[in-house]
Amino acid sequence: MSITVGVDVGGTKIQAAAVRDEQIAGSFRMSTPLTGVADLRAAIAQAVDEALAAAAAERGALRAVGLAIPGVVDPEAGSVRSSPNLPGFEGSTPVAIGPAVSQALGGVPVALGNDVNVAVLGEHRRGAGRGYGNLLGVWVGTGVGGGLILDGELFDGRGAAAEIGHTTVEPAGRVCSCGLLGHLESYAGRGRMEARARELVKKGRRTSLFKLQQKKGRDRVTSGVWLEAMRKGDRIANMLIDEAVWALGIALASAQNLLDLEAIVIGGGLGDRLGAPFIERVAAEMRPQLFVPERPPVLLPTRFMDLSGAVGAAVLAGG
């Protein structure tokens, strides 16, 4: 029986899910190598093989692979034009990762999509977004990405639609990972939040974030570290999460005022880890800024959590 594997490549981790008959048959997780394109290609191929093994399937049963990558992608060419949070993908020269992964897997077809677009597709077809014709997905992780379903179909514009992380919430504000100022990602992206915490430490402020990071053996301040620091009452952690909620409230209210959506699904590392209380705070922050406050969108957590992108990638590939 054939099987499809979806692979979600994030700035911190790679998630793979083997899907058979619309069900997750096996999954695998590993850290994202931050040492360039060749190592990432090898890691993706390994993740596919490990997910197949978890599903008790052979490579010969593999029908197709779906690949979700953050940044601006060209699905037809199977290439990534720009991905600021992945070393080797941040330049202006497209990287043909799809064909490279296909070659590494013996010629298996590989479908490529933007990571959050793909995750939103998965949640719309199989998860929390079922039944909604118009919805926005916002993934709050290393960066902040978005995906948009309009009239029941994924809308990707010319390849860079719904990049809500790069909407402006504070003109002339903090530097974003893309180099511009005041974007949502500057305040709610975990990478920029960590950079801000380090700036504050250099100015003499104290935080448990980096001790917890070392204790857990992480090379970045992960979502789990943020959650633990918040629970311990860490002032910097809670202040930066407060700022993330504020920024998300502005950006999501603006999106709602533009599109009049039925629902907004919030996922990503921080969204999934902080869960319902975090989502409720964002909803409360949005409400005073809505043009039609009596008809707000429903804000929902993901169904598949950190496997949303992998499941969506499998859907993209026909699984």
Q: How far is CA 263 from each of CA 123, 132, 134, 299, 300, rounded to the nearest angstrom?
A: 12, 7, 7, 6, 7
Q: Where along the chain do the CATH 3.30.420.40 domains lie?
A: 3-120+308-316, 130-302
**pLDDT of 91 strictly over 80:** no
Average pLDDT over residues 41-56: 96
Query: Which positions ≥6 away from 121 have C-beta within 8 Å?
Result: 113, 147, 149, 154, 312, 315, 316
Amino acid, single-letter form, for residue 283: A
pTM of the full predicted structure? 0.86
Query: Which positions ≥6 away from 192 have C-beta within 8 Å?
Result: 174, 175, 176, 177, 185, 186
Exposure on the CB side of residue 87, measured as CA atoms within 13 A:
9
Q: What's residue 172's pLDDT?
A: 92
CATH tag, 130-302: 3.30.420.40
**pLDDT of 81 strictly over 90:** no
pLDDT band at 89 (very low <50, low <70, confident <90, very high): confident
pLDDT band at 86 (very low <50, low <70, confident <90, very high): confident
CA 300 to chain centre: 15
Give yes or no for a contact between 306 and 222, defined as CB atoms under 8 angstroms apart. no
| pLDDT tens per residue, range 239-284 | 999 999 999 999 999 999 999 999 999 999 899 999 999 999 999 9
Q: Which residue from 236, 288, 297, 241 is spatially nearest to 269, judged by alpha carbons?
A: 241
CATH superfamily ID and name for 3-120+308-316: ATPase, nucleotide binding domain (3.30.420.40)
Q: What's residue 34's pLDDT?
A: 87
| pLDDT tens per residue, range 61-75 | 999 999 999 888 888
Q: What's residue 71's pLDDT?
A: 80
Q: Which residue from 125, 108, 147 is spatially nearest to 266, judged by alpha carbons?
A: 147
Q: What's residue 5's pLDDT?
A: 98
| pLDDT tens per residue, range 201-234 | 999 999 999 999 999 988 889 999 999 999 999 9
Query: Which positions ≥6 away from 294 have C-beta within 8 Å?
Result: none
**Better-predicted residue by pLDDT, 57 or 87:** 57
Least confident of 160-164, 222-226, 306-310: 160-164
How many residues are there in the chain? 319
Buried b (16+ CB within 10 A) or exposed e, 205-220: eebbbbebbeeeeeeb
Q: Which residue from 240, 178, 183 is spatially nearest to 208, judged by alpha carbons?
A: 240
User: Both tokens of residue 175?
Assistant: 């530097």
Give yes or no for a contact between 225 and 208, defined as CB atoms under 8 angstroms apart. no
User: Both tokens of residue 29?
Assistant: 């997780």
User: Both tokens of residue 55?
Assistant: 């599903």
